Amino acid sequence: MEAHSGLSAQDKRTLGLSSLGGALEFYDFVIYVFYAKIISELFFPSGLSPFWAMLNTYGIFAAGYFFRPLGGVVMAHFGDLVGRKRLFSLSILLMALPTLVIGLMPTFESIGYAAPLLLLLMRVVQGIAIGGEIPAAWTFVSEHVPEKKIGFANGLLTAGLSLGILLGALMSLFISLKFSEAQIHDWAWRIPFIIGGVFGLVALYLRSYLKETPIFKAMQARKELSKELPVKQVLARHKTAVVIGMMFTWFLTGCVVVLILAMPNLLTGAFGIERSDAFTMQSAAIVMQMAGCILAGLLADRFGAGKVILIGSFCVAAIAGIFYTSLGHVSHSTIFILYMLLGLFSGTVGMVSYSMVRMFPAQIRFSGISFSYNVAYAIAGGLTLPLVQWLSLYSKIGAMYYIWVVCLVAFFTAIIYRSKFE
């Protein structure tokens, strides 16, 4: 397969279906955030203070993050032993069904404390699913496409995950324009969950047309599949790769959570930018991040993932410094342009997966990527927003210092990665 560098029709179909499935699965995972306030009012006792109801709602959201490593490690274990395709399909089923259930389930008023408990269970299953989906997708497409297209494939896949966030934001905007606040609170909030669940099941059906990866089939034929627990091999023989993968994942988390997900709250809360303007900026920045992921992939295929992350992390730090220090001092149009540039260069994170594909051998690749990515994302995903919130006590642009730290870590990790793996 490495003899030719172009993408065959089968490669393109694999890439397209994998990216679409990843987008829908990420949509299902993040749509919860956009309706957190309504969920806090409907799934907890009415006598509970808004603060505690919201805290419980975010706690249930966090449970999805904390169960990612478990889902990722268990699903990757079987992915390395029985095949990539089966686990790739299972992950989307485990995401689509809970999303559909959340959209249909009764509230606290109908079933009492069973409502928040059922909601927690659904988020745990979603966490397990997302923990398996992303490493599965990266492994699956990297083992399908030609050697010289692995960077592009991973960039496109990571862009698909950003597309999932964008779809969630656009769906929330559509619902808010189409229905009144009372209608949304009564029943319309369910629509995005039901649509996400149905589309997820459609994506599951489409994935049935995908084929097992040539690399896995070749290992199976030569009886080269891992004879011992894959994650045990990862920790015993690939510690450096695990640490590098975790540091790169921290960079990815910062660029997604701080620069994209949390940005509207900063713009509207600390700098008085209109809510509609903030969400318009966010949506445009997501599109730029998607373009950045694909561009980073094309560059990595030519120059290597290490060099792309090295230069990209430096550029993100530099533009973040200009962007944050400009807030409140320059026109909205200038802020918009700077934010678009920040979104574009943050697309560097599209090469985090490419670096991990390169570091782990095929026999334990799924487990290696899954362990590094999910453990790091569970820790960083859980701690990032509280840390940024704490920094904002000392400065309105406290988020900038957090981004500087993760960029610095990514910069020096890229130097180590290049010396050891490129």
User: What's residue 292's pLDDT?
Assistant: 97
User: What's residue 266's pLDDT?
Assistant: 84
CA torsion sign for 17, 22, 23, 29 is: positive
User: What's residue 135's pLDDT?
Assistant: 82
Domain boundary among 180, 207, 224: 224
Domain boundary among 186, 203, 224: 224
Domain that holds residue 365: 226-422
Domain boundary among 224, 254, 288: 224
Are residues 168 and 305 part of one domain? no
SS3 content of the chain, % helix, strand, coil (to 5): 85, 0, 15
Give, in degrees to the nearest 5, the angle at Cα 4 between 3 and 5.
Answer: 125
Are residues 383 and 395 part of one domain? yes
Rounded Cα–Cα distance for residues 286 and 280 (Å)? 10
Residues in the chain predicted with pLDDT less than 70, given as ranges, are 1-6, 11, 25, 76-77, 79-85, 88, 209-229
Are residues 175 and 41 part of one domain? yes
Are residues 190 and 303 part of one domain? no
Are residues 207 and 275 part of one domain? no
- Are 126 and 95 in contact by the 8 Å Cβ rule? The answer is yes
Are residues 230 and 220 part of one domain? no
The counts of H helices and E strands in the chain are: 20, 0
Q: Is 301 left (phi over 0), alpha (psi -120 to 50) or beta?
A: alpha
CATH number where 256 lies? 1.20.1250.20
| Residue burial 384-396, b: 16+ Cβ < 10 Å; e: rest | bbebbeebbeeeb
Please provide residue 54's backbone torsions phi and psi, each rounded to the nearest 5 degrees: -70, -40
Give, in degrees to the nearest 5, the angle at Cα 264 between 263 and 270.
Answer: 90
- Are 383 and 66 in contact by the 8 Å Cβ rule? The answer is no
User: What's residue 4's pLDDT?
Assistant: 40
Are residues 185 and 68 part of one domain? yes
For the chain, how far is it from start to end, CA to CA, in angstroms?
21
Are residues 119 and 92 part of one domain? yes
Are residues 173 and 147 part of one domain? yes
User: What's residue 94's pLDDT?
Assistant: 85
Rounded Cα–Cα distance for residues 233 and 244 (Å)? 17
Closest CA relative to residue 258, chosen from 135, 392, 355, 138: 392
CA torsion sign for 117, 118, 124, 130 is: negative
Are residues 235 and 203 part of one domain? no
Rounded Cα–Cα distance for residues 126 and 32 (Å)? 11
As a dihedral over the C-alpha atoms of residue 262, residue 34, residue 155, residue 23, rounded to 10 degrees, the angle is 170
Are residues 205 and 132 part of one domain? yes
User: What's residue 85's pLDDT?
Assistant: 67
User: What's residue 3's pLDDT?
Assistant: 37
Q: How many domains does the chain have?
A: 2
Are residues 284 and 209 part of one domain? no
Q: Which residues contact residue 295 at a Cβ distance below 8 angstroms, ignoring those fewer than 6 apart?
A: 155, 344, 347
Give, in degrees to the nearest 5, the angle at Cα 16 between 138 and 380.
Answer: 35
Q: Which residues contact residue 329 at a Cβ distance below 8 angstroms, ignoring those fewer than 6 apart?
A: none
CA atoms within 13 A on the CB side of 276: 3
